[in-house]
A and B are shown apart, each in its own frame.
Chain A
Amino acid sequence: MADMTASDVPAPLAPPRLSGALAFAARRAEGIVIPLAALIAGMAVFSLFLLALGKSPAQFFELMWRGGFGSWFSVQNALLRATPLLFAALCVALPARLGLTVIGGEGAIVLGGVAAAAFGHWLSGLPSPIVIFAMGLAAMIAGGIWIGAVGALRHYRAVNETISSLLMAYIAIALMNQLVEGPLRDPASLNKPSTHPLDAAYRIGPIPGMDVHWGLAVGVIACVACWVLIDKTRWGFAARVAGGNVRAAQIQGLAVGPLIVGFCALAGALAGLAGMFEVASVQGTANASLAIGYGYAGILVAFLARQNPLGCIPVAFLLGGIAAAGGLIQRRMGLPDATILVLQGMLFIVVLMSDTLYGRFKVFNPDRWKRAG
């Protein structure tokens, strides 16, 4: 509303610096106000759903606050669950800047985990910094090859990347099962086939003072780095140009092929790191628990964040908190686990629909203020 009043003031009268700052703030505000309003609208729709079930929305959101955000325990719970989502979301957000919809991050996570576990076992005996570095590298290479291949198929063979990445995720899970139940299996893991357990020295522990492992810090750094890459570097600029119009980018002489393959490979490498942290910080071994849908949850995060790597951080935290509160809601309200999925689904749809609102509000568009005045 303050912006509206500002728009009524003739531009020449306002000090140029202030109006510049206002215009800047207004432009930035659009990307924050619309998703927030969409979230609130989604929750309102969900409240109707709860009322139809005869449950209290007030109790639901109170429990959601308490279980996901209301105490230090809950916040750590949310952050821990957000950690793999950060990497998984980047695996969607990076290719999205090239106009690609990659939804198969799950495959890169799973293979990253297996590669990390394998190298952790093979290099057993070496100093732990070397082994942990090698595990991270192996995970990134495995994930990078997997999603890089999706990019290559897209650019060089015109295979739809959405379909191929999804199908390759199934192949990756099958490959993981084959390796974990076959050559990489720890013979002692009888009823839940797993790789050899990682030596305690190669486990990655919690961040000091927290109950959350270092994956969180690395994930946040990765989000910031990806934002810098996309928004502040010439590669990011080239990617955005290619994402906007491939032909135009080619006419400009941009190396579209390497850009697509490179961004996809980077996206896959980051997803691979999620798998590595699952192995090194959570499970201590690679097994079927790697494929529990982090890759797919990441799609939701990236879309809610409108493919903005920085936006992935709060969105992952929000979804982590919702997931963290899910258990409490089940226990206290007698609602099935699917309730949380319904909430996620409603938020997802409302936020996607809100995409059509961009550019429609004069408030956020300083160029149109003057005409209005």
Chain B
Amino acid sequence: MTDLAISRRSLLKTSAAGAALGLVGWPAFPTRVRAAATTIGFIYVGPKDDFGYNQAHAEGAKALKALDGIELVEEENVPETVDVQKTMESMINLDGASLLFPTSFGYFDPHMLAMCKKFPDVQFRHCGGLWDKSKHPTNAGSYFGYIAMGQYLNGVVAGHTTKSKKIGFVAAKPIPQVLNNVNAFLLGARAVDPTITCQVIFTGEWSLAVKEAEAVNALVDQGADVITCHVDGPKVVVQTAANRGAFVCGYHASQAPLAPEKYLTGAEWNWATVYTMYAKHLLAGEPLPNFTRGGIQDGFVKMSPLGPAVSEPARKQFEATLADIRKGGYAVIKGPLKDNRGKEIAAVGKAFPETAIELESTSFLVEGVQGSTS
């Protein structure tokens, strides 16, 4: 009797386990795998392979694939409208995402903030540095990098390379981030030769291939022989400049494959550092930092490897400046300095390191930059 009872019990147990496996485990297999992993969503405003802003983020996202227990969902070409709100909701509802990176600047207000309120259990981190403890929810946050220092290094190499002493900058919009880059590029070149000037052309849009090409042609026609840019996808600028025989400095991501001979160096985002940091916190169950910023010394920004056209003196000054920047506290904007309308920006002895809050509302172009913000 006892034997029978035991064997019956074990039989029941085994079959129950088998049934449970069959019922729960097997048919639900795909969902369970999905739920077991921590899902992180990335949203891009343009194509992932734009050789620019979005590619830089997509490369950073790709670094997460190396981590165990992370599942990646990505969506490209999402406009800064209800579309992005619905993409976030869809990633949360249908993919089970617990951390979202809406990477475009315009996703923040009102779109990401609306979703933060709607999904208080989901974490949102936005690229651009807009998060403010006093105003914004705690499941939101910002990260950003000081990339103007990279444009300064671009300028150093450009300053050694230019023969005409004229360099050119194709810019999207006269907003603080862009103006800081233009100023840094020229000041880097002027650290080599103070007679160098930089012509800037604003296209007015983040992505407008025809105008970007026209701008490059106009710059080269005016004698500029090293060109850089701040637009979403530098592909057109780099290719057009190289076709016209000018040298180029890259931005956002590496454009070296587009013009291997003419590409000098480039200021690149290194988002892998940031995304890996967030993912590791998430996997460890630790709270995510709300506000993160860093520069070259923090691994947020990196420089493209120097191209074949970079001269030896250029390489030396580039490396020396890079080493100085790595020490921290390096200031590009320092007195005595005037803007290009003759107004004083910094008196002798006054310096604004990259972390200076004033640089977040820059509205001037420094002396030596030819162009106007309005």
Contact = CB atoms under 8 A, between A and B. Distances in A.
B110 interface: yes
Contacts, number: 78
A80 B86 contact: yes
A282 B81 contact: yes
Nearest to B177: A191
B176 A328 contact: no
A91 to B, nearest CB: 18
B82 A331 contact: no
Interface string A266-291: 00000000000010001110011100
Chain A interface SS verdict (over half): helix
Interface string B77-104: 1111111001101110111000000000
Interface residues of B, number: 35
A336 B47 contact: yes
A182 interface: yes
Contacts of A338: 77
A191 B86 contact: no
Interface in A173-206: 174, 177, 181-182, 190-193
Interface string B103-121: 0011001100000000000
Contact of A289 (B76, B81, B89, B128): B81
A67 interface: yes
A290 to B, nearest CB: 9
B82 A81 contact: yes
A190 B110 contact: no
Nearest to B41: A331
Interface in B47-78: 47, 73-78
B175 A289 contact: no
Contacts of A192: 105-106, 175
A308 interface: no
Contacts of A80: 82, 86
B173 interface: yes
A338 B89 CA distance: 22
B47 A337 contact: yes
Contacts of A24: none
A73 interface: yes
A302 to B, nearest CB: 21
B308 interface: no
Given A327-B86, A327-B90, 20 more contacts: A73-B89, A181-B174, A190-B360, A192-B105, A193-B173, A193-B175, A282-B81, A282-B110, A289-B80, A289-B81, A289-B106, A292-B80, A327-B87, A327-B91, A328-B90, A330-B74, A331-B91, A331-B95, A336-B76, A337-B77
Interface of A: 66-67, 73, 77, 80-81, 174, 177, 181-182, 190-193, 278, 282-284, 287-289, 292-293, 323-324, 327-328, 330-331, 336-338
23 contacts: A67-B90, A80-B82, A81-B86, A181-B173, A181-B174, A190-B360, A190-B361, A278-B81, A283-B110, A289-B106, A327-B75, A327-B78, A327-B86, A327-B87, A327-B90, A330-B75, A330-B76, A331-B91, A336-B76, A337-B47, A337-B76, A337-B77, A338-B77
Interface of B: 47, 73-83, 86-87, 89-91, 93-95, 105-106, 109-110, 128, 173-177, 204-205, 360-361, 374
